[in-house]
Amino acid sequence: MLGLIAAALWLRGGGLEPQASAQVRRVSTGKEGGIPDSGRQRMDMIAELQKINGRLEAIDSALRGGTYRIQTLEAKGDAKADQGAR
C-alpha cells in the first residue's frame, strides 16, 4: 500500500523533492514573480529612507537659514462665520 502511494505521488507531482529546495530555484530579483528577495527589498527600503532623510535635511537647513515672506489672504465669507470657525 505504501508503495502504491509513493508511486502515485511520484507520477502526479514531479517527484518527491522537498519544497524548500524547490523554492530556492525561483528567487526573484524584480517584479517578475517567484519568491521575493527580502535582502534586496530591505536594501531598497534603506536607499529610499536615505533619500527621504536627505530631503528632510535640505528642508530643515532651508527653514533654519532662510528668510521667508508670509502672505495672508482675507476670508471672503461672513465675519460671524469666521469667528465661529476658530
- At 58-69, the pLDDT tens digits run 999 988 988 888
The model's confidence at residue 29, banded by pLDDT at 50, 70 and 90, is low
Beta strands in 1-86 (DSSP E): none
The model's confidence at residue 16, banded by pLDDT at 50, 70 and 90, is low
Q: Which amino acid is at 19?
A: Q
Residue 23 phi, psi (nearest 5): -75, -25
Q: Which amino acid is at 41?
A: Q
For the whole prediction, is pTM greater than 0.85? Answer: no
Give the distance from CA 64 to its chain's centroid.
31
- State the residue for C-alpha cell 532651508: 62
Structural domain boundaries of the chain? 37-65
